[in-house]
Structure 1
Amino acid sequence: MTANREIDSILQRAADGGRITPEEALLLYTDAPFHALGEAADTIRRRRFPDGVVTYLIDRNINYTNVCVTACKFCAFFRAPKHKDGWAHPMEEILRRCGEAIDLGATQVMLQGGHHPEFGVAYYESLFAGVKEAYPQLMIHSIGPSEILHMAKVDGVSIEEAILRIKAAGLDSIAGAGAEMLPQRPRKAIAPLKESGERWIEVMTIAHRNGLSSTATMMMGTGETHAERIEHIRMIRDCQDLAVANGYQDSAVETSHQVGGFRAFIPWTYQPENNHLKGRTQATTMEYLRFIAVSRLFFDNIAHLQASWLTTGKDVGQLALHLGVDDLGSIMLEENVISSAGARHRSNLHELIWMIRTADRIPAWRDTLYNHLQVHRTEADDPTDDRVVSHFSSIAMPGRKTLPLVDAK
Structure 2
Amino acid sequence: MHAITAKLEAGVRIDGDDFLRLEREASLHQLGFLADSIRRRKHPEPVVTYVIDRNINYTDICISACKFCAFFKAPEEGSGQVLTRDQLAEKIRETQNLGGTQILLQGGLHPDKPLEFYEDMLRFMKSTGIHIHGFSPPEIFHFSQISGLPVTTVLKRLISAGLNSIPGGGAEILCDRVRNELAPRKCSADQWIAVMEEAHQLGLRTTATMMFGHIETMEERLEHLQRVRDLQDRTGGFTAFIPWPFQPDHTPLSQTRKIEKTSAVLYLRMLALSRIFLDNIRNIQASWVTQGPKIAQLSLFFGANDFGSTMIEENVVAAAGVHFRLSEQEIRRLVKDAGFSPQQRLMDYTPV
Aligned to 1:11: 5
Match of 2:149 among 142, 153, 157: 157
CA distance in 1, matches of 2:184, 2:351: 40
Q: What amino acid maps onto 2:283 in structure 1?
A: H
Q: Is the contact between residue 69 and residue 115 of structure 1 (CA under 8 Å) also seen in structure 2?
A: yes
Task: Say whether 1:103 aligns with 2:79.
Answer: no
Q: What amino acid maps onto 2:322 in structure 1?
A: A
Q: Is the contact between residue 76 and residue 274 of structure 1 (CA under 8 Å) also seen in structure 2?
A: yes
How far did 1:225 drift? 1.1
How far did 1:119 drift? 2.1
How far did 1:82 drift? 3.4
Higher helix share: 2
Q: Is the contact between residue 60 and residue 101 of structure 1 (CA under 8 Å) also seen in structure 2?
A: yes
Match of 2:240 among 243, 253, 264: 264
How far did 1:344 drift? 2.0
How far did 1:15 drift? 3.4
The one-character-per-residue Cα deviations of 1:320-361 (angstroms, maximum 9, x if unpaired) are: 100111001011111111111121222222221121112111
Structure 1 residues 15 and 294: CA distance shift in structure 2, 3 A:
farther
How far did 1:41 drift? 1.0
The one-character-per-residue Cα deviations of 1:239-280 (angstroms, maximum 9, x if unpaired) are: 11111xxxxx3xxxxxxxxxxx11000001111122101272
Aligned to 2:178: 186
How far did 1:233 drift? 0.6
Aligned to 1:341: 320
The one-character-per-residue Cα deviations of 1:110-149 (angstroms, maximum 9, x if unpaired) are: 111100011232111111111111x11x111111110001
How far did 1:226 drift? 1.3
CA distance in 2, matches of 1:21, 1:162: 36
CA distance in 2, matches of 1:83, 1:125: 26
Give TM-score scaled by structure 1 length.
0.83
CA distance in 1, matches of 2:188, 2:2: 36
Q: Is the contact between residue 268 and residue 308 of structure 1 (CA under 8 Å) also seen in structure 2?
A: yes
Aligned to 1:23: 17
Match of 1:312 among 291, 296, 321: 291
Q: Where do 5+ consecutive residues of structure 1 fail to align?
A: 1-6, 244-248, 250-260, 374-409
Match of 1:227 among 213, 216, 219: 219
- 1:261-300 → structure 2 map (5 Å cutoff): 261-278=237-254, 280-281=258-259, 282-300=261-279
Aligned to 1:212: 204
- 1:99-138 → structure 2 map (5 Å cutoff): 99-133=93-127, 135-136=128-129, 138=130
CA distance in 2, matches of 1:344, 1:280: 22
SS in 2 for 1:323: coil
CA distance in 2, matches of 1:15, 1:363: 27
SS in 2 for 1:344: coil
The one-character-per-residue Cα deviations of 1:73-111 (angstroms, maximum 9, x if unpaired) are: 011111111322111111221111101110111101011
CA distance in 2, matches of 1:220, 1:174: 21
Q: Is the contact between residue 15 and residue 41 of structure 1 (CA under 8 Å) also seen in structure 2?
A: no
SS in 2 for 1:11: helix
CA distance in 2, matches of 1:313, 1:16: 34
CA distance in 1, matches of 2:52, 2:159: 22
* Deviant stretches of 4+, over 3 Å: none
How far did 1:221 drift? 1.2
Identify which of structures 1 and 2 has the higher relative contact order when contacts are C-alpha pairs closer than 8 Å and 6+ apart.
2
How far did 1:295 drift? 0.9
How far did 1:150 drift? 0.5
CA distance in 1, matches of 2:321, 2:107: 18
CA distance in 1, matches of 2:338, 2:305: 11
Identity of aligned residues (%): 43
Q: Is the contact between residue 120 and residue 152 of structure 1 (CA under 8 Å) also seen in structure 2?
A: no
Task: Say whether 1:80 aligns with 2:74.
Answer: yes
SS in 2 for 1:372: coil
SS in 2 for 1:98: helix
Q: What amino acid maps onto 1:76 in structure 2?
A: A
Match of 2:309 among 324, 327, 330: 330
Q: Is the contact between residue 12 and residue 40 of structure 1 (CA under 8 Å) also seen in structure 2?
A: no
Task: Say whether 1:144 aligns with 2:136.
Answer: yes
Task: Say whether 1:302 aligns with 2:278.
Answer: no
Task: Say whether 1:195 aligns with 2:195.
Answer: no
* Worse-matched range after superposition: 202-211 or 185-194: 185-194
Give TM-score scaled by structure 2 length.
0.96
Q: What amino acid maps onto 2:334 in structure 1?
A: M
Q: What amino acid maps onto 1:325 in structure 2?
A: A
Q: Is the contact between residue 215 and residue 265 of structure 1 (CA under 8 Å) also seen in structure 2?
A: yes
CA RMSD of aligned residues (A): 1.2
SS in 1 for 2:181: helix
